[in-house]
């Protein structure tokens, strides 16, 4: 009797998002151009993508229209996650996020996963939670992993890095059907471990904003990984670096070292069946 492990469509896509063999993930969000404006020139963007692809980045996060500008060879080396909602810095309420794409459209583009941004505590929280639930339903139907980026932001939020608040944010993502949750870092491995332990789904920590110092940023990544998170999603500290490829490689080394017994996605969509060996 031989055990045969069969991954579902979602499980197969999840495996493409993870580094092998560590089971961790290093993602680079590049969706900032919708909110804040161009990251670089058009030629510079293509060069950035090519550099990330050869420096051990596991996946990138972009909006749907950017996919056509991605070098084909780069997509063969990194997972593609399509971001489904957004806003611009010119809006009256920059915390309000609107759906601008669908899971079906992301699948048609060849996405390995999708992501949705939620500002917990914002004036438009209700609409954003509704959108997350809708996207989770679509992801279940299409077999697509869902990354929920949950940030505590709003008039009643006094400390966006509060561990109790972040544990709540993680459970909001899990309860509405997300497979992975991206959260801010609490500031210390000890307090972040409590957040990770309270989360029913794997946690990816944010890059920490622009730290301005490469050494400080890499130390931040090391501290985050010590807490046992699945990985890191870092954007600005990568694409604004003097040498994005070199910075990416430094971060990848820390993430893929798997410090702190990182969480695993393996069990989420693994179905065990038995077959008789011939």
| Number of residues written out for the chain | 278
Pinpoint the alpha helices (H) of the chain.
Answer: 9-17, 32-36, 42-53, 72-75, 103-108, 125-142, 163-175, 189-198, 214-226, 236-239, 244-256
Tokens of 12: 């197969």
> Any catalytic annotation for residue 151?
yes
> Any catalytic annotation for residue 182?
yes
Q: Which of 105, 39, 72 is nearest to 241 (CA)?
A: 39
Catalytic residue among 10, 64, 97, 182: 182
Catalytic residue among 10, 64, 97, 151: 151
- Residue linked to tokens 């993502």: 173
Q: Which of 43, 58, 145 is nearest to 103 (CA)?
A: 145
CB 197 within 8 A of CB 151: no
| Active site amino acids | 151, 182
């Amino acid at each position: 009797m031989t055990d045969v492990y069969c991954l579902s469509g979602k499980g197969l896509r999840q495996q493409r998002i993870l580094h092998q063999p560590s089971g961790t993930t290093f993602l680079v969000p590049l969706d900032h151009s919708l909110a804040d404006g161009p990251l670089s020139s058009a030629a510079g963007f293509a060069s950035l993508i090519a550099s990330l692809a050869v420096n051990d980045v596991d996946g990138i996060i972009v909006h749907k229209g950017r996919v056509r500008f991605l070098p084909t060879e780069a997509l063969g080396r990194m997972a593609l996650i399509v971001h489904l909602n957004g806003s611009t810095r010119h809006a009256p309420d920059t915390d309000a996020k609107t759906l601008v794409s669908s899971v079906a459209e992301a699948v048609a583009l060849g996405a390995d996963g999708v992501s949705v941004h939620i500002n917990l505590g914002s004036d438009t929280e209700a609409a954003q939670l509704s959108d997350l639930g809708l996207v989770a339903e679509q992801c279940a139907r299409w077999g697509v992993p869902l990354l929920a980026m949950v940030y505590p932001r709003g008039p009643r939020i006094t400390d966006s890095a509060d561990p109790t608040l972040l544990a709540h944010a993680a459970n909001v993502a899990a309860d509405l059907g997300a497979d992975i949750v991206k959260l801010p870092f609490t500031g210390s491995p000890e307090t972040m471990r409590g957040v990770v332990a309270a989360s029913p789904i794997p946690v990816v920590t944010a890059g920490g904003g622009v730290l301005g110092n490469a050494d400080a940023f890499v130390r931040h990544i090391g501290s985050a990984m010590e807490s046992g998170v699945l990985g890191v999603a870092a954007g600005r500290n990568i694409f604004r670096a003097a040498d994005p490829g070199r910075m990416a490689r430094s971060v990848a080394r820390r993430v893929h070292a798997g410090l702190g017994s990182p969480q695993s996605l393996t069990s989420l969509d693994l179905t065990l069946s038995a077959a008789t060996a011939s």
